Amino acid sequence: TAKNDANEQSAKPQPALTVEQARLVVDAAPNVATKVLLAMTWLCAGRAGDATQLRKEDIVFSSICETTRFQAVRILVRRGKAAKLAQPHTIYSIVPPHWKAVIDEYCAAIEPSRPLFTRASERDWGKLSAAITTALRTAGPQFGQRALRRGALQTLAADPSVDLATLRTFSGHTGDDMLLRYLNWGLQSNRQAALAQRAARNLFPGLETLKPPAAETTAEEETVTMEDEPDDGISTSSEEA
């Protein structure tokens, strides 16, 4: 039926940016404002519309350790769709040094209580939206604004130690249904795959002695060394929108 055809169509995997494509898109943004908006959307794995409502005081950076120039960032989501659906909440992420430099440059003249992006007019807002679309299309004509958020969530979900509850702190979803849509109905959730495969071994008695799937390995006892990104990342020479 037409309804079944529509459901089948909606269940097809949708375009999502990879890490490399996300970096390309941010680098390709035509001005600093667009670079910052795209970077914040990826860091939060959130909606671009929610990122536009962040204020300078909502974003706090801190050092991780002496061996890396990456910085930790704490982002308080108090406005936008995510705050309405999941209540105000805090996102913890990390930011590479070249993105941090762009954000610092853009925020330097903004008062702490002021929005990072001011909707002075619908025409100006239309220019910013068009700049976002132009930057996304450098990665491919199939990518729309949701591809950035979808790609960030799928990248996070690829780590088998990241559960759905953690993903929801980024996505702002109150339940798993919509989150799983962003993960292509769980296809990109390695954590859920590991748990399901562990449970499925009960269907075949005797398999419990086999080596567990690689996806079950967690990062709890592993030490991760974070190396610096190259300095030839985002250019900060573009004019602000």
Regarding predicted confidence, which is higher, 185 or 114? 114
CA distance 195 to 213: 9
pLDDT of residue 99: 93
Query: What are the structure tokens assigned to 81, written together?
Result: 């769709």
pLDDT tens string 200-236: 888 888 765 555 555 544 444 443 444 444 443 333 3
Q: What is the Cα–Cα distance from 215 to 236, expressed in whole angstroms? A: 39
Element (H, E) at 61: strand 59-63
DSSP label of 203 = G
Start-to-end CA span in the chain (Å): 48
Overall pTM > 0.85: no
The three-point CA angle 143-157-132 to 5° equals 25
User: pLDDT tens for residues 37-64?
Assistant: 999 999 989 888 888 888 999 999 999 8
CB-based contacts of 88, cutoff 8 Å, min separation 6:
76, 77, 78
